Amino acid sequence: MEKKIVIDGGKKLYGEVSISGAKNAVLKLIAAALLVEDVCLIHNVPDLSDVETMVDLINSLGAKTKYSKLSQTIEIDARDITNHVADYAYVSKMRASFNVLGALLSRCGESKVALPGGCAIGERRVDFHIKGLQLLGADVNIENGYVIAKSRKLKGADISLAIPSVGATENLMLASIFADGVTRIQNAAQEPEIVDLANFLNMAGADINGAGTPEITINGVARGSLKGIEYSTIPDRIEAASYACAVCAAGGEIVVRDIIPAHLTFFINKMCEIGVKIDAVDPYSLRIKKDKRLKATDLITQPYPGFHTDMQAPVMSVLALADGTSVITESLFENRFMQVPELRRMGADIQQENSRAVIKGVEFLTGTEVKASDLRAGAAMVIAALAARGKSSISNIHHIDRGYEKIEEKFSQLGANIKRVEINENLSDNQIVNSKVLS
């Protein structure tokens, strides 16, 4: 039976929510563990389908793992990597798994990785990855849907990225750990997840400097020199922003705990600009309060430290209910407005003009049947449904499960009427109330 999230909206949110470990960080840490011929223990690992996929992938390469969802830890023993082929069955599910390309090349001297999948938010080419690996001395080809890279010994190089690609920066960092000499990645991505990856590798014995700045320097170390470590993943700034957006749309007052506020500076400033009240409770918690009608604003998605593209869809649900006309410009992906038709179904007034969305705030949204077309669009649907009058049912929730841990439980703790249900295909949406509620 199909599973849906059902929300009876129009209720303000109150209480506290704790943020999980960052999906976009932990997936790369798991890939990085392939470089360590020892045992690593990673804490603050969220219970997500993407994490399960990544664990299955490295297991297929010969790693031995113990993943405890209860303690939110994963133990990775990568001493015996026996396979350098990352199969399409794994990589097609999410783009982050493509980062094993650099790790396997560095560790094994060769790698064969399927071209990546993930959310259908637009073209995300791997040219930057390939050109960077070639500068390091790798022989790289694309054959039958796989990227095949080989090199007996990589050599440090100066690599200038045309754009600050997060995935390319991470892959080239992993590939250059054991390269002879010095590698410099210029115009590197500056995201907190890049810093987290560098911190993990440095703790294990790598020599990386400049992570979080436009130029990262990697001094190559001897293959086999990295040691096993214990490490805790940073909190998920996108999840934190999503819960903040929920209270901005539905109203109320919540405390978001276990976060690093500095990772959300641009988002916080933009929310304060439209009328949200945000203040620090302690160094790792923020209070978010919405007690009046918000006002429109314009924003452009940009690489960090600018406004994150992953926050665009959740914020659109907020601006759909703000006074005035807002304009969102998506500068990174050409197909990242997939939530627009679904928000229109709920009564939003949004006109899309190529990479721009013009949003005229309405008085209220109305609950209805909608679908999650990708991970962040799914979050936008949940946020809109929480604010809407009446009941909404959200399908395709496997997208949401890729990036949001225990989303029903967390919103229920804030007072939302939200449930995950099994829906018989023969039932209409009006009969959802009689469907079986999942534990």
pLDDT digits (tens, 9 = 90+) for 250-289: 999 999 999 999 999 999 999 999 999 999 999 999 999 9
pLDDT at res. 118: 41
Write the DSSP assignment of 234-261 as a string of letters. Answer: PB-HHHHHHHHHHHHHH-EEEEEES--G
Query: Which strand (E) or helix (H) includes residue 150?
Result: strand 146-150
Q: Which distant-in-sequence residues (6+ apart) come within 8 Å of 371 by Cβ?
A: 342, 381, 394, 395, 396
Q: Please choose, from the candidates 151, 41, 163, 33, the residue with its C-alpha nearest in 3D space to the C-alpha of residue 99.
A: 33
Query: Residue 403: pLDDT band by 50, 70, 90 thresholds?
Result: very high
Return the minimum-mean-pLDDT range out of 39-53, 84-98, 214-228, 273-287: 84-98
How do strand 277-282 and strand 298-300 relate by DSSP bridges?
Answer: unpaired
pLDDT tens-digit map of 248-258: 999 999 999 99
- pLDDT at 63 > cutoff 70: yes
Last residue of a domain, one of 203, 232, 261: 232
Cα(first)–Cα(last) distance of the chain, in Å?
Answer: 15
Give mean pLDDT, residues 83-112.
Answer: 91
Strand-pairing partners, residue 141, are: 148
Return the minimum-mean-pLDDT range out of 1-5, 245-249, 273-277, 425-429: 425-429
What CATH number did the domain enclosing 221 receive? 3.65.10.10
Same domain assignment for residues 433 and 303 = yes
Same domain assignment for residues 254 and 387 = yes
Same domain assignment for residues 425 and 309 = yes
HSE at residue 155, side-chain half, CA atoms within 13 A, is 3
Query: What's at 111, amino acid-wise?
Result: S
Write the DSSP assignment of 325-363 as a string of letters. Answer: EEEEE--S-TT--TTHHHHHHTT-EEEEETTEEEEE--S
Query: Residue 407: pLDDT band by 50, 70, 90 thresholds?
Result: very high
Please give the residue range of the domain that contains residue 54.
23-232
Same domain assignment for residues 28 and 15 = no
Give the percent of the chain with pLDDT over 70. Answer: 94
The total of structural domains in the chain comes to 2
pTM of the full structure: 0.93
Query: Residue 94: pLDDT band by 50, 70, 90 thresholds?
Result: confident
Query: Residue 125: pLDDT band by 50, 70, 90 thresholds?
Result: low
**Max CA-CA distance within the chain?**
65
Give the Å distances, CA to CA, from 212 to 198, 303, 304, 315.
9, 12, 9, 25
How do strand 417-423 and strand 2-8 relate by DSSP bridges?
Answer: antiparallel
Mutual angle of helices 100-108 and 166-176, in 10-degree steps: 10
Same domain assignment for residues 362 and 257 = yes
pLDDT at res. 126: 85
Query: Residue 342: pLDDT band by 50, 70, 90 thresholds?
Result: very high
∠ at Cα 59 (56, 64), nearest 5°? 130
The shares of helix, strand and coil residues in the chain, as percent rounded to the nearest 5, are 35, 30, 35
Same domain assignment for residues 367 and 303 = yes
Give the Å distances, CA to CA, from 313 to 308, 337, 388.
10, 7, 16
Give the percent of the chain with pLDDT over 90. Answer: 85
Same domain assignment for residues 15 and 49 = no
Same domain assignment for residues 180 and 248 = no
Examine the residue annotation and report whether 40 is marked as an active-site residue of this protein: no
Same domain assignment for residues 356 and 343 = yes
DSSP letter, residue 31: H
Q: CA 265, CA 268: separation in Å to the nearest integer?
A: 5
Last residue of a domain, one of 197, 217, 232: 232
Q: Which tokens in the block code for residue 162?
A: 């045309």
Same domain assignment for residues 375 and 335 = yes
When computed from its CA atoms, the radius of gyration of the chain, rounded to whole angstroms, is 22
Which among 119, 245, 248, 272 is annotated as catalytic? Answer: 119
Same domain assignment for residues 308 and 382 = yes
Same domain assignment for residues 187 and 264 = no
Last residue of a domain, one of 189, 207, 232: 232
| Mean pLDDT of the chain, nearest integer | 93
pLDDT at res. 117: 52
Asked if 333 and 263 touch (Cβ cutoff 8 Å), the reply is no
pLDDT at res. 122: 38
pLDDT tens-digit map of 154-194: 999 999 999 999 999 999 999 999 999 999 999 999 999 99
Q: What phi and psi values does residue 211 have, to the nearest 5 degrees?
A: -60, 135
DSSP letter, residue 279: E
